[in-house]
Amino acid sequence: MNSISPDIRTLTVKKATPEALADYGQVLGYNADIDPMPIDFYGGTVKVRRVVDFVSDEQTELPLVTVQRRPYEVRWMERHFKHTQTFIPLAGAPFVVVMAPPNEAEVADLDRVEAFLFDGSAGFTMKLGTWHEFPFAVQDDTNLIVVLRKEATDGLIRDNVIQDEAQSPDLDKKDLLARSNVVFQFEV
């Protein structure tokens, strides 16, 4: 690791709106602009809308993750190549996600990293390759359903982490401090 003091970059947390998130993915929640599908069962009492474009080419899982508050610092960012990871808050819990747009580079574009506050009323589905850090809880015991490929989850298991980074065919987790001497921070 670099012996020079890290470059601490402060992010302004933005409200997670469909417009603000357009470079990263889609809000998973009610959208009146999307017409219901023509499904006629139940006398019209059930309306089905496809509000996000979820992609997964293999075994997909929905783990429940309980997140505690931790320092609002981003040292790692990861991306997925084979699925569009989704975060769904339970019980209306707010959370923050730090992201950078997909790219072809070895690491995220550090000049395009942004932080977004989700109010807990909707989830979020990221585009393939969106760089992100795992969501930050605003309050302890925040429960999230995470929709992702099993291969990505398995890539994060301790035995697959080498020098603070994780790599699998569907996971690319990079240590920004070790690679670029950069850490991001934010306040909520």
- The CATH number given to whatever domain includes residue 41 is 2.60.120.480
Residue 164 belongs to some domain of the structure:
yes
The pLDDT-based confidence of 2 (bands split at 50, 70, 90) is low
Residue 11, pLDDT score: 98
In which residue are the tokens 């417009």 written?
19
Number of domains in the chain: 1
Residue 1 belongs to some domain of the structure:
no
Residue 82 belongs to some domain of the structure:
yes
CA 94, distance to chain mean position in Å, is 14
CA dihedral 147, 135, 116, 28 (to 10 degrees): 20
* Residue partners of 181: CB distance under 8 A and separation at least 6: 2, 4, 6, 7
pLDDT at 48 over 60: yes
Residue 12 belongs to some domain of the structure:
yes
- Whether 147 contacts 62, CB under 8 Å: yes
* Residue partners of 105: CB distance under 8 A and separation at least 6: none
Residue 146 belongs to some domain of the structure:
yes
The pLDDT-based confidence of 108 (bands split at 50, 70, 90) is very high
Check residues 121 and 1 and name the one with the higher pLDDT: 121
> What single DSSP character describes residue 37?
P
Structural domain including 70 reads: 7-186
In which residue are the tokens 């790219």 written?
103
Q: What is the average pLDDT value for the chain, to the nearest integer?
A: 92
Residue 2 belongs to some domain of the structure:
no
pTM for the full model? 0.89
Segment 14-24 shows an average pLDDT of: 96
Residue 65 belongs to some domain of the structure:
yes
Residue 143 belongs to some domain of the structure:
yes
Strands (E), 23-177: 25-28, 60-61, 64-67, 73-74, 76-79, 86-89, 95-100, 114-118, 123-126, 131-132, 136-137, 142-149, 161-162, 165-168, 171-175
Helical H segments across the chain, by residue range:
150-155, 176-180
- Whether 63 contacts 153, CB under 8 Å: yes
